[in-house]
Structure 1
Amino acid sequence: MRSLGALAKLPTVTPSEQPVGLRERKKLRTRQALADTAVTLFGERGFDGTPLDALLERVEVSRRTFFRNFRSKEDVALTAVKQLWDVYLDVLDSTEKSGPLADVFLDAMLTTLERMDEDWYRRFPLTLRLIDGSPALDGHSLRHCAEIQAEITRRLGGHSGPDGLELRLLIEFFVASWRCALDEWLPECAPGELPALLRRTCSSMSAALDLSLPA
């Protein structure tokens, strides 16, 4: 499995962090136009049935320009997902590692959600629906999720036992809680509701592990 260092970094830029150079601003606008148009176009026509050339024609960029910004059609379609986890890893790195790691994971995601802008909250639900409707995109998303989990394990290896089993399980539990929160968030997708749903699913994990069948 490749490390995340081999993946293209997809920046989430706030107004105070806008690139100052004309070249950088133009590149960012091109990336944003491709990402915005991709979720709209693929949503209209279906991801699997829409060739990459249709996106390039809509945005009026060349294949060379596209591949300077993204690795594949799947990559541009998952921009919102990859932005989320890029920011999450940055937040996790800067978070003080004290107390239960489950709380550290939760707090890092809550902080991440606070940092995402309105444009991201518009594109993210569209991206989730694209994933649901495309086996190919779903597989690409699952591979990326596995890479993220491996990267979190690597970065927090000092917090685990000799084989890291407990840490790996905890990360799996957190990702499962995140997915359950997303399932409840769809289809309304109100931005303010996602943090509360994530808190609820994470707090339910202990009770879920204690479930038993009637005698």
Structure 2
Amino acid sequence: MTEPGLRERKKAKTRRLIQDVALRLFAEQGYDETTVDQIAAEAEVSPSTFFRYYPTKEDVVLADEYDASMMAALETIPPETPVVEAFRSVLRGVFAQFFAVDRDVILERMRLVLETPALRSRIMTANHEIGQIYGGILARSIGISTDDPRIAVAAGAMMGALTAVLEQWVADDGRGDLPAMMDDALAFLGTGLKIGA
């Protein structure tokens, strides 16, 4: 894997700066009370630069590089790997690395999402779309049609499990090990939801 060039590094730095400033302002003033113009001014960029990185104010909370990296990793999983195990493997490898660096940012973003109706609605739509993409990758990997209803069911179940874990983690003020909690939830899903006595 090649290292990103100077231009890409500068863009990544600007993208992260805008998001960090936005999250700080949302925490201080409230999401609805904070404008794109305020975020741009605090980040010392123009509003047009803000929109070049984030098409909407919602995107500055929701956008990250996690899914792209996880999808790329999912493409490399051997086809014979059970669907839930394939997803667990990617979460353990890729998401755990992001979490080790971005734990506080993830908590701040997820808290905002759960507390802000517009963001909560938007992430439900985004999760459905992401689930479809993950499902398509898994379908191609195991050699079945992306229209196979079992893929939609599997993707929906996995995204639902991860959403439930995120809500639990945020409610506990981020004290748990989120990647381990996600892994446990998917392992439970893989058992066929068998609950012992």
* TM bracket, shorter-chain basis: 0.7 to 0.9
Give a deviation string over 1:144-176, Cα, whole Å, max 9, x none: 111111212222334346841111111111112
Q: Does 1:57 align with 2:41?
A: yes
Q: Does 1:175 align with 2:171?
A: no
The answer to whether the 8 Å contact 2:95/2:179 transfers is yes
Which is further off, 91-100 or 47-56?
91-100
- Which residue pairs with 2:123 in the alignment? 141
The separation in 2 between residues aligned to 1:210 and 1:121, in whole angstroms, is 30
- Which residue pairs with 1:184 in the alignment? 168
Change in 2 beyond 3 A, CA 1:32/1:157:
same
The answer to whether the 8 Å contact 2:74/2:137 transfers is no
Cα offset for 1:207? 6.4
Q: Does 1:78 align with 2:67?
A: no
Instruction: Please give the residue correspondences for 1:26-175 in structure 2 after superposition, counting only pairs within 5 Å.
Output: 26-79=10-63, 82-116=64-98, 118-158=100-140, 159=142, 160=144, 163-175=147-159
Give a deviation string over 1:96-142, Cα, whole Å, max 9, x none: 22231111111111112232165422211100011011111112212
Structure 1: unaligned runs, 5 residues or longer: 1-15
Cα offset for 1:74? 0.9
Change in 2 beyond 3 A, CA 1:206/1:25:
closer
The separation in 2 between residues aligned to 1:180 and 1:117, in whole angstroms, is 17
Structure 2: unaligned runs, 5 residues or longer: none
The separation in 2 between residues aligned to 1:110 and 1:207, in whole angstroms, is 18
The separation in 2 between residues aligned to 1:32 and 1:205, in whole angstroms, is 34
The answer to whether the 8 Å contact 1:88/1:109 transfers is yes
The answer to whether the 8 Å contact 1:48/1:136 transfers is no
Which is further off, 57-66 or 161-170?
161-170
The answer to whether the 8 Å contact 2:23/2:61 transfers is yes
Give a deviation string over 1:57-104, Cα, whole Å, max 9, x none: 11111012112222111111113xx32222211111122222311111
Cα offset for 1:183? 2.5
Q: TM-score, normalised by structure 1?
A: 0.78
Change in 2 beyond 3 A, CA 1:161/1:209:
farther
The separation in 2 between residues aligned to 1:69 and 1:54, in whole angstroms, is 16
Cα offset for 1:190? 4.4
**Count of residues in Structure 1 that have an aligned counterpart in Structure 2:** 191
The separation in 2 between residues aligned to 1:162 and 1:116, in whole angstroms, is 29
Cα offset for 1:197? 1.2
Q: TM-score, normalised by structure 2?
A: 0.84
- Which residue pairs with 1:3 in the alignment? none
Q: Does 1:20 align with 2:5?
A: yes
